[in-house]
Structure 1
Amino acid sequence: MLLPERASNPLPPEAAEWRNAFGALRPTSPPCRYVSAGTWANIHESCVDFIERFGAEAVRLGWTAPLLFGVHPKHGTLRVDWCGVMMIGGRKALAIEADRILFGNLTGYRNLPGVPVGTPVWDFAARR
């Protein structure tokens, strides 16, 4: 399990793309309907923090943009069953493992049978 530390190495290309894509999303303008500005600001901040602290490790462990930052391609965050681990709750990650991300007393899992995979939130926002 990787504990929170700022990455001292440059981000790998995939994580750098996540950072650039999230940087283009305004923290004050929710990309999905039904997400309040305050909730989106928290999600945005936690995602940026995750990319900076855990982005390199997430890539190494095989996490993808849809698994982390995905939303339903048509309904956005309204369909939480399609949302990536980082798109729910707006909490900062405390640790990352191969199959889960820990948020204190909450855990977000990947690779659960039957769970659909969404499109990255920045792709959703671009189609709006």
Structure 2
Amino acid sequence: MAREKAHRARAAVVGASVRRDVPALAARRFSLLTVWGVAYGAVRVCSRIWFADASPDTPEASSVLFTASFQAAISVGALVGGIALDRSSPSAVVLVGAATAAFVVLITAGHRGSGTVRMPA
């Protein structure tokens, strides 16, 4: 009987704290989703600018290369995410995505300031 009362008391405390934290969690999730949306939107714009700067004399070729690379990245991401989901769990997909993003940030930071790559004429 005493155990049951203690269990109910703990459940009431946990329930009260969860109800109190729900608005804070929702605000955090909203802000993270907003940051992700802005970053994802910037990737297309920045990538298009980088491709155009890399080949200013052939804008059509840079547009085709941009489109093909973007579609290939989406396809590879879907494939790797599907494999991770089939072999593990949905949280593994998030971990694989986070590891890939961290790897890309490290690679990009390593090449920062190296200048624009120009194709030979």
Q: Under a length normalisation based on structure 1, what TM-score does the superposition of the two structures give?
A: 0.29
Compare CA radii of gyration and give the structure with the larger one: 2
Higher share of residues assigned strand: 1
Q: Which structure is higher in helix share?
A: 2
Which one has more relative contact order, counting CA pairs under 8 Å at least 6 apart? Answer: 1
